[in-house]
Structure 1
Amino acid sequence: MKQKKIKCVVWDLDLTIWDGVLTEDKRIELRPDVKKIIETLDYRGILQSIASKNDEKLAEKKLKEFGLYDYFIYPEINWHAKSVSIDKIASSINISKDTIAFIDDQEFERNEVSFSHSEILCIDGEKLDGLLEMSEFNPTFITVDSKNRRQMYQQDIERNQIEEAFEGTKEAFLKTLNLKMTITEAKEEDLKRVEELTIRTSQLNSTGTIYSYEDLQKLLFSKTHKMFVVQLDDKYGSYGKIGLALIETIEEVWTIKLLIMSCRVISRGVGNVLLYYVMNKARKKAITLQAEFIPTDRNKIMYITYKFSGFKEVEKTGEQLIFEADLTHEKELPEYVYLPKEK
């Protein structure tokens, strides 16, 4: 199995996070070093959740006593098969299962999860020594967005709950958020986050290409490339830097080499707005705008984003498609978009 960086660790509770069985033992104590592991993973930007066969209210109370409850998003504490619980967690976070690690002391539970989801990394909960040194749990960089990742997901949960209860159209709800989308040319201090976006994003990635920090640094100072990053904020907090457009600017043709959006903003239309911005710049310069696209089993939304924005397929070479933008009319950008000063 191709090794990938872990995006989410799913924990068992009894005899894994703590010693003892919650519904049977009077004395429950945290296992040595577990709190340190949880805190370190959180600092590195690795999300964490729970799949435990347990009494939900008792488990929540105990986690709060240990000061750990807030570290976990979308916890599944019930009597369902753990493979089912992990499936729900992956769906809620919107990540691929091959970026999930499951920690449980019971071999039976690990085997049950592996049987249903062979791509998940299963770890013996009794053998946590050395976990923090494993390459899967060590991102290349720890960015500001990494450190705040859990809090940003918790803000998303709050937004989603409010949106579900909102009586009105999606457009009307978006107006209540006081959105602020900022598009700027990338700076060197953005590159760690940009590299992280290329590594972590598969669903909203137009070509599936991963760029190293060194690659991005060369492109940043290249006279034939432009790199735009998008940050999104609203009244509940910041989504962080959540989008990227990498453009090759040669002679009379600009080519979008890579378009990436975080899955957390899938319903905010960020991809279309960024494309509109690039299209307007190309139109102003009276040049042709094309885009490379490599279809995968996960990036169909990006295909739709290009089509919806006015791109048409003009060439196909192997798996790669070439789109070309219709620049007949200037695209209107939402009023909440803040643009960089023209150079």
Structure 2
Amino acid sequence: MVIWDLDETFWKGTLSEEGISDYISENHDIIVTLAERGIMSSICSKNDFEQVKDILEEKELWDYFIFPSINWESKGPRVKEIIELVQLRPASIMFIDDNPGNRGEVARYCPDVQIENEHFVEKMLDDPRFAGKEDFDLSRLNQYKVLEKKSSDKQNTGNDNSSFLRQSGIVVEIEHNVEGNIERAVELINRTNQLNFTKNRLPEDHQQAIAELKKQITDLPYARTVGLVKVKDNYGDYGICGFYLCEQIHEWFVLKHFCFSCRILGMGVEHWLYNKIGRPYLHIEGEVLSNPLDDTEVDWINNAASDTGQNDFATAISKVNNIYIRGGCDLDAVGHYLRYVANSIVSDTNIVRDENLIRRDSLTNIYDGLVGLTAEQKETVSALGFDPAYFHADFLKKAKDDDVILLSLAADTTVPTYVPVGTASDDPKFALLMQIRGIFLDLVSTSAETLRENMRHVNWDDELQDRCWNRVEYLRSRFESFQITVPYYRKKLDAVLSQMHSGARMVIILPSFKHRDNSGQIVVNERANAVRQAVLESVKNRRNVRTVDIMSTVDNDADFVDGDHITRQAYFRLYEQVVAAIMHMVENADGEIIEPASEPSDNDEPKSGFFGKFRSKIKLFS
């Protein structure tokens, strides 16, 4: 931006004395050209405001200036105020004045501002600092005119920023279909600075940048959530002006990209969004103009849905007090989207402790926590590297009236179950899951040589390998593998559901009966079919429990990425179906019982159940 003096700089003569001797048309044209390059102009002049305004309006140039400061006060403080109002870094601003006293004063008040005399003007357009970016529509100038109007209205509230923002009608909408706006996302990552908190730049080559970002948002789809941020208020629609990419793997929860256009500076959007997505780890890189990590409370932003169906979802979810999430990475993904509409989320998902995966998405572990471990069982799990406190069913105790439990049981279909040797009947009294990070084999039935070889391929030192192997040997000496049966699983689930508070509701995710194996082939998981059948039988005729079939979110086998993990778009569809299930229970609290969805064929969606009734309200991710 350029801040112009007028007398003997922009024009010849002193307006308040002998008047203007020469209105320099070349300078007039320079200001127009700068605006068409996206470079703003302001005024800091010692003159009469109305007199200057009349002249520049007659010349049809007045509207090309933003935040003009025209009065008889000292220029140093006024230039500093202009810089604060336009919300730009001082180093990106030039002050031009013929008077060396004014130049010196501004230099003292604003040491980082670039300062030139009147002779620089004729060279300005050829200076590379003023190359700018083509903007013949004057969109950037119009954005600053909006900022100017907002500043004026803020003064009318006594400069109370919070009061002004509450009156501004700020609405934020999160667009999760990043692929459809990939070029804008690339632009935000590579071109924003002052509100780019991560500064993880993409390649400068445009096509390479698009390819790299597509890779980032499709790799680890179960762990990465992304969104484009749309903002509007009473002053206008700012369009897509923010982007984030968040990665969550167990307790690893970090922002990879978090960047915004300066057009929403001062609106609190970055604070609001950071809180909404759960305050993940954010390393702020370089100089920025805001700090989302502070405790700023933003109560002036409303969340908008992208279509009517999503608004219906938000209305239904607002009637739920707390949502208790108990599961794995599938519900980590669902929980991310729920944070935008839920009043409160209490999440209890998979974690890693000393290389043991603590699988929250297991009915076996939930049941152990429900009935409680005996002293002998506590000693056993401790020897296997587990804290006995990991075995709990706290969500059943905490969920009360108008609360919802989201339950995923995927681990029971993918991780082997073990029971004490000699107890592998249809109803063993004690069973547990055990999974060591990086090892995807049955720890009992697989040969010791194969297990040790797999451990050597995990990035462990010798001491850690020995410690994990000691646990495996302990397990192999006392436990045997157990094949889950429908009667066994239904009995355990019936026991868990019987402990639900009568005013609480539950949505159970039916696990996938397909997965992609290590060779990349799609295979059928027979254990999953047993779990699915048991769940469907157990929830039948229960008013306060619904099932959502993860298979109905899968368009085809290509949606399986690895194991039972699916694409980000499929997880978004899962979120929509979960909310549809909650919506149905909220709207039909005392109404009919809807039967669980019938078993789908490979690629078909369920033809019956609540989801079919609410299908018309759901806009699927495309």
CA contact (8 A) 1:295 1:303 kept: no
TM-score w.r.t. length of structure 1: 0.71
Residue 100 of structure 1 and its aligned partner are, at CA, apart by: 0.9
1:105 CA drift (Å): 2.4
Answer with 29-38 or 159-168: which moved more.
Answer: 159-168
- Determine the structure 2 residue equivalent to 1:56: 49
Match runs of 1:224-263 below 5 Å: 224=219, 228-247=227-246, 253=252, 255-263=254-262
For residues 135-158 of structure 1, the C-alpha deviation after alignment (integer angstroms, 9 at most, x for no partner) is 22224x4469x9412212222332
The reply on whether 1:293 has 2:283 as its aligned counterpart is yes
Tell me how far apart the structure 2 counterparts of residues 260 and 82 of structure 1 sit (CA, whole Å).
34
Whether 2:184 is the aligned partner of 1:190: answer yes
Matches within 5 A, 1:42-81: 42-81=35-74
Change (3 A) 1:16 1:154: same
Give the Å deviation of 1:87. Answer: 0.4
Q: Which AA in structure 2 matches 1:342? A: F
- The residue type paired with residue 169 of structure 2 is L
- Equivalent AA in structure 2 for residue 157 of structure 1: E
Show CA shifts across 1:53-76 (max 9, x none). 222222122221221111112111
Q: 1:148 maps to what in 2?
A: 139
Residue 90 (structure 1) shift: 0.9
The 5-angstrom pairing of residues 138-177 of structure 1 reads 138-139=131-132, 141-142=133-134, 147-165=138-156, 174=166, 177=169
Structure 2, unmatched stretches of 5+, are: 299-334, 343-617
Sequence identity, in percent?
Answer: 24
The 2-side partners of 1:269 and 1:26 are apart by 46
Deviation at 1:108, TM superposition (A): 3.3
Q: Which structure is higher in RCO with an 8 Å CA cutoff and minimum separation 6?
A: 1
Quote the offset at 1:10 in angstroms. 0.6
151-160 or 166-175: which moved more?
A: 166-175
Shift of 1:270: 1.9
Look up the equivalent residue of 1:158 and give its one-letter code: K
Change (3 A) 1:163 1:109: closer
- Which position in structure 2 is the counterpart of 1:181? 173
More helix by share: 2
1:331 matched to 2:339? The reply is yes
Q: 1:97 to 1:9 in 2, by over 3 A?
A: same
Give the root-mean-square deviation of aligned CA atoms.
4.0
Which structure shows the higher strand fraction? 1
In 2, distance between residues paired with 1:47 and 1:192? Answer: 24
Alignment-mate amino acid for residue 35 of structure 1: H
Residue 104 of structure 1: aligned partner: 97
In 2, are the aligned partners of 1:177 and 1:234 still within 8 Å (CA)?
yes
Distance change >3 Å, CA 209–CA 85, structure 1 → 2: farther
Question: Is 1:303 matched with 2:293?
Answer: yes
- Gaps in structure 1 of 5+ consecutive residues: 1-7, 280-288, 309-326
Matched residue, 2:499: none
Structure 1, residues 117-147: CA drift from partner, whole Å, max 9, x if none? 23111122223233123222224x4469x94
Q: 105, 110, 131: which one pairs with 2:124? A: 131
Determine the C-alpha separation between the residues in 2 that align with 1:46 and 1:340.
41
Look up the SS of the partner of 2:175 in the other structure: strand
For these two proteins, the number of residue pairs brought into alignment is 302
